[in-house]
Amino acid sequence: MHAPGDIRVEELSDPSIQEPTDAVLRLSATCVCGSDLWRYRGEDAFSSPQHMGHEYVGVVEEIGSAVTTLRPGDVVVGSFFASDNTCEICRAGYQTSCVHRQLMSGAQSELLRVPLADGTLVAVEGTPDDTQLRGLLAASDVFGTGWFGARAAQVGPGSTVVVVGDGAVGLLAVLSAKLMGAERIIAMSRHAARQEIAREFGATDIVAERGEEGVELVREMTGGLGAPSVIEAVGTQAAMSQAFRVTRAGGHLGFVGVSHGVTFEGRDLFMSHVHLHGGPAPVRDYLPDLTSRIMAKEINPGRVFDLDLPLAEAAEAYRAMDERRAVKALLRPSAP
């Protein structure tokens, strides 16, 4: 990305092993993330060209001398943060706050260097077919993020859940809530195609209204109290305000949208008794479970990819997502 709205596919030097804990992957699939659009729209400033992409599934081509759990030829998935998976924070289940964490970038490409490979990458059994490949790519970020949102919102058997946001993360938060046993899932969405996916994933109710009207409708649907579990999957002030106001007293609000300009009035927060928990999802903690379910074909989170393009057409992938013509665009690197 050279500037907001300016995506170019360019030839760069191949990545190589720089540290003994590195691995180099040949990517099978990558994609554009909703969080990439903040920069694309000029909301996140940058001063030099940025090599984009942080979601990936691929095959190990090369490993550093200190890598012990991976071999060339392994099919692997990793998180958008590299982590050692051994520090105290990682062991507590928050690998995206690892004391040695490194933000991944450059995955919209054919090859990718992954630092801290043993702690970051998870190998899968067998060779994925296309449906499994798409699911594994979703697990790299948006599925794991939706899962964290549901965990942070304390979703459990019999829960009533509200999901604010109908992008890939919001839709996969619906699926996550369903898998965790939620009985009623209210998806807030104004877009027919996304509503269809939400229902496929387990939404029992759709609320198209926003703002005050949406808040009042959800409260009516929940006995005037609001829901005990709410997931915010957008990151704007409007979305957070809506999510906060539909969370009942003592309820849990899991926020996983990348926050931009979000603030709370202290007295409102104090008087609400709402539990707030969120941030960058510790995807690495969930990958073994989620990838096993995907490879067993128990679930199909890759359903959120509704646009499939070669890497050379990355600019169109960004445009389609920015214009809401696509929920999520999958990019296929060229063959070696």
How high is the mean pLDDT in each 10-residue block of the chain (336 residues)?
96 96 98 95 92 98 98 98 98 98 97 98 96 98 98 98 97 98 97 96 97 96 97 96 97 95 92 96 98 97 97 97 96 76
Q: How far apart are CA 26 and CA 155, in angstroms?
A: 37
Point out which residues pair with 276 in neighbouring strands. Answer: 253
DSSP string, 95-156: GGG-TT-EE----SSSEEEESSHHHHEEE-SS---HHHHHHHHHHTTHHHHHHHHHHHTT--
**What DSSP element (H or E) covers 315?**
helix 314-322
Query: Could you tell me if 193 and 218 are in contact, meaning their C-beta atoms sit under 8 angstroms apart?
Result: no
State phi, psi for 265 to the nearest 5 degrees.
-80, 125
CATH 1.10.10.10 for domain 145-278: no
Q: How far apart are CA 49 and CA 42, in angstroms?
A: 13
How is the chain split into domains, by residue range? 23-141+282-332, 145-278
Query: Could you tell me if 26 and 58 are in contact, meaning their C-beta atoms sit under 8 angstroms apart?
Result: yes
The confidence score (pLDDT) of residue 334 equals 73
The confidence score (pLDDT) of residue 6 equals 97
Tokens 């691995």 found at? 23
Closest CA to 114 of 143, 136, 144, 84: 84
CATH 3.90.380.10 for domain 23-141+282-332: no
Q: How far apart are CA 259 and CA 243, in angstroms?
A: 13
The confidence score (pLDDT) of residue 336 equals 42
Closest CA to 24 of 78, 79, 61: 61
Closest CA to 236 of 254, 269, 258, 218: 258
Helix axes of 211-221 and 237-245: crossing angle, nearest 10 degrees: 30
Which residues does 134 contact at the CB level (< 8 Å), separation at least 6? 29, 302, 303, 305, 330
Question: Residue 91: CA atoms inside 13 Å, Cβ hemisphere, count?
Answer: 3
